[in-house]
Amino acid sequence: MDRINPWQKLTAKMKANKKFEIGVYAGIGLLIAILYLTGIRPAAQPVAEETLTATPLSERGDETRLEEALSKIRGAGAVEVMLTYENGKELIPAYETDTQSNTQSGEIVSSNASTRPVTVTKGGQEEAIIVKEVEPRIRGVIVIAEGAEDIQVRMDLARAASKALGVEAERVEVFTMERAGKDK
């Protein structure tokens, strides 16, 4: 018996009927869009502006993690790190555009478009769907280490901090830590 595969049947019907083919592709596109949008998690705060700023990275422990890593460099001793940022983290919401057109005799006479953030209701509050988070740019790094008197340790600390944070070397300064109990 010669059985026709359902996929072969579908492709044959699509080749025979262009409208059906366009409908199938549109359905697949719609399905992908729905799957994408349901996979996005809403933001914790509602949208008030086009981009929002959030808490600096340093409050999330990046300074502490860098301190731990730098203190493991030979001769570094105790290390303290301070990061400064040009701005906060930016949250970029998804936008929905509504377009209305007036036509006369098949020609567009006027068109209006309005854009607004896409929101979902969560816990009785509307929250924006965030599509992108832009981390803040680091303005400068200060590293204070016990072993920074040694030029090789100082260079190693600066190079490690620069690489770990992805910043230019001129944005990193290394200083010697004051020792406790030392007379001034």
What's the whole-number mean pLDDT along residues 30-52? 58
Strands 138-145 and 172-176: parallel
Band of pLDDT at residue 81, cut at 50, 70 and 90: very high
CATH 3.30.300.30 positions along the chain are: 52-90+134-176
Say which CATH architecture domain 52-90+134-176 belongs to.
Answer: 2-Layer Sandwich (3.30)
Specify which of 3-17, 39-53, 60-74, 163-177 reaches the highest per-range mean pLDDT: 163-177
Decide if 77 contacts 71 (C-beta within 8 A).
yes
Q: State the chain's mean pLDDT as an integer.
A: 79
% of the chain beyond a pLDDT of 90: 28
The answer to whether residue 52 scores a pLDDT higher than 50 is no
**pLDDT tier at 171, thresholds 50, 70, 90:** very high
- The residue whose two tokens read 């262009």 is 18
Rounded alpha-carbon distances, angstroms, from residue 30 to 23, 134, 173: 10, 28, 53
Q: What is the pLDDT of residue 21?
A: 84
Predicted confidence at residue 56, as pLDDT, reads 46
Res 48 pLDDT > 60: no
